[in-house]
Structure 1
Amino acid sequence: LHSCPPRRSAELLHYVQEDTPDASASARADWCRQRTPSAATGAPVVAAEDKPFRGTLHWAFARARPADRDEGLVAAWSDRGLVMLSFADDADDGQRQVSERFPACRLERTDDASIAGLFTASGQTPLHLIGTDFQRRVWRALLEVPAGTTSDYAALAARVGSQARAVGGAVAANRIAVLVPCHRVVPRAGGAGAYHWGQDRKQALLAAEGAAP
């Protein structure tokens, strides 16, 4: 390097990320995407998406229990994985929820029995997490909270390098119930805390897992 002749600053080269920021960012994203765990590994596929999602979504509705007339589940899939799993009163309510969450998408109903497969092989269900980068970081942290245990907002905030209030907003924005276990986040002061689908349902989920607050 010492033998190189001096050059004027105008002749010096810039870093690649300065000259072509969009291309270099896309290349890094592709590199990471190719190394994302696949369903074959037994781990969820966590895909990145922070833009309004467009395209076709397949959805299904099923009763939580065959004899239960008061509670059901609606699920929606993109071609990359599950984008939504929500409690719903009936199929019409479920379709409405999916439409409101993804207004730019075309919805096609699929086999309702496919919802059961989400729970019989939940560790192999690809998840397509659609949200901001910060929301996805929080949702990934939720995936690391084991069944039968709980966490609190401050602990999650420390894990993702943020504040408890911001984490609370991201937890509340989760729309993949149970499989992205936002029900396992409880206030440090005690009690079950808020839940998008209702406190009673949250307490029932925690009790079923043996982690009632």
Structure 2
Amino acid sequence: MARQLPYMTLREVFRRFEAASAHPEGELHHSNAYTLLVAVALSAQATDVGVNKATRDLFPIADTPEKMLALGEEGLVQHIKTIGLYRNKAKNVIKMARILVDDYGGEVPNSRAALQGLPGVGRKTANVVLNMWWHFPAQAVDTHIFRVGNRSGICPGKDVVAVERAIEDNIPVDFQLHAHHWLILHGRYVCVARKPKCAACLIRDLCEFEEKNL
């Protein structure tokens, strides 16, 4: 685990990320808060590309909890069976739809506690929805952010909660809204797991990674 980068270094890290991509966006396709919630829930242990392929035909016919209930679990399975753990995910999505209809008037709640009370929704999924739909500076820590944060010193921590706390406590507030997207995309395309592309990295001179591949 790298040491935590100092404040002014962090400002420069995120200044560079912002200069390269001022408004980074998530790669899961969605049209409203509900389809975003479902897409993120489906993306656990699956790629965004795979989820987008599965939902391309699903969301036009089931973009509300009511429509998802009408489609039913078996109907949903037919759309998502190319995604890992699809049976369990289908059960959770249908249970989630029922709760949203019965308890929330068909609307997706915008509190972390309420979101995490839904089947198949953990802290990471809740944070993604809060950030992407309601523009709350919630930090959804996935494997990419965990790796980048610990390699670089941007947000080191022994587990995802510690990394989330390191982002909230140390990254300047004016960069927090987009911080997790910058870090995810950096981890997905540059600071990759096996052979990080350090020579192409925007922050290679600021990074604490001792095994830089230059």
Interval of TM-score (by shorter of Structure 1 and Structure 2): under 0.3
Which one has a bigger Cα radius of gyration?
A: 1
Higher-RCO chain (CA-CA 8 Å, sequence separation at least 6): 2
Higher helix proportion (structure 1 or 2): 2
